[in-house]
Structure 1
Amino acid sequence: MPSTGTPPDWAGVDIAVPRRSARLPGISMAGFRQRVPGAADIAMVAHPSVSLLVDLTEGAGLVYDTYGRRERGTVVIGLLPGELRTGGSGPAIECLQIRLSPPVAAKVLGASTEFSGTVVSLEDVWGRDAGRVEDRLRAAATWDERFTIAVRILSRRLDSHPPVDPEVAYAWRRMRTSRGRIRVDGLADEVGWSRKRLWSRFGAQLGTTPKRAARLVRFDHAAHLLAAGHAPAGVAADSGYVDQSHLHREVKAITGAPPAAVAAAPWLAIDDVAWPAPPRGSSR
């Protein structure tokens, strides 16, 4: 899949990603720093992950708007089925984005059912630990140090909470590998559960239904193809939509924007499509 490079809207933003040795399975991270003083206004595209946005901005900090609700500072963003806008102002807007696969999020956050389609303060989830984490990350001198601190914190939390059911974890992996093109009934047969049990356990542990999860995974695949410059008609066929009109309706329903706008969204994902990987041994 060809890379489009860093989108033009991000010309004034430094982006850092961790070295491969500083990565954990099911977790991706990136650091953002706006070089040019002033306000930022970013539309974030729905993604099949639970995200932590750690606000490292000095001053007023970041503000998030979704579903008519506003949050500030460091937040947990659930499996987002719609548009989220984030903005802020100050001499240097900085944040660390940590994306967690839903099975990993259930361990790191200790719960998941309250996070589907929501934006909540990390303090509401981690209590006073949230402030201590934020202070440690803000005090670090480099992004490499911040990534190292984040990996240590996340590793400890992964070790201290039980995993989701193996059947639920398997169902999620199958959704990802099939790019969302899998029948839930067939998935239930694969794990040896009834459809009702799969929906119940999946929802209780990952905070959404299998059908909605598969829908978001399929959309994510289509969004990446669009971002890579593929024509909508081909994207629709490759992603399992009936036709281009079906793709348009689905993208509009999930994001509130047409496919062309989603293709150009700067905060699409932390991967080689949204921005090229840094040279080996560099955190950019």
Structure 2
Amino acid sequence: MTKKLRPTLAIKGTLGLEADGRNFGGRERIALLLKIGELGSISAAARDVGMSYKGAWEAVDAMNTLAGEPLVHRAVGGRSGGSATLTVRAQRLIDVFQRMEAIHQRFLKHLSAVADNPLSDIDLVRRFTMKTSARNQIAGTVSTVQSGTVNDVVQIDIQGGQQLVATVTHESAQSLGLAPGRSAFVLIKASSVIIGLPDGLSRLSARNQLKGQVSYVKRGAVNAEVGIQLDGGSAIVSIITTASLDALALSEGMPVVAIIKASSLIVGTFDS
């Protein structure tokens, strides 16, 4: 069976004009004006650009109205007769639009060159714009899914070769399309992150024990916020009591382990 290749995503865009908040037109209407100037006939221009005769007349009327002055002078002579000429303003508009279109196409070409993989770059932008109350948002790739009757166990590879393990309902895993190779993200409340010391850790039932070091400490009256730079580049935030902060004697640069129960992870995907 031949594996279906993922289609290449290209960045495209169209240039349009507005007048007083109303759509003046874009490439199609400018093309119509250009053909009217070349052929001297609205009906002939409509046929050439693949537009209906009625649609062409309506487009010309709309452009004349929105421009605030005539763009096309018409000499009525019946459906097959008559003539049409462009005003100086229309000729200037065509020239300006063509210049703008050339600049626009160069911009799109440059944007495509910057985005070596447009699909992944768009996903990244979506991640930046995602809003959630969870302090910790970590992206990764699903590596394994162990299906169960009620719950599935999902392992997600993150930066630096570390893994996160989450338990989700089987129905949720199916709905999200979780499978090896699928891009996903994990949300973790800061209060769900327990901090431990790497030396002398007791055996724990928590599936997630991520190594890192303290990046900052913000002490409050009752609780403290502790930032942890995980091995490999990801970062995570924990909220603990000041009593725990003092008991562990946490300070910047100190090696620690972020401990999180698999049931405390919320898994999501970026695809619609």
The structure with more radius of gyration = 2
More strand by share: 2
TM-score by length of 2: 0.21
More helix by share: 1
Between 1 and 2, higher relative CO (CA 8 Å, sep ≥ 6) is seen in: 1
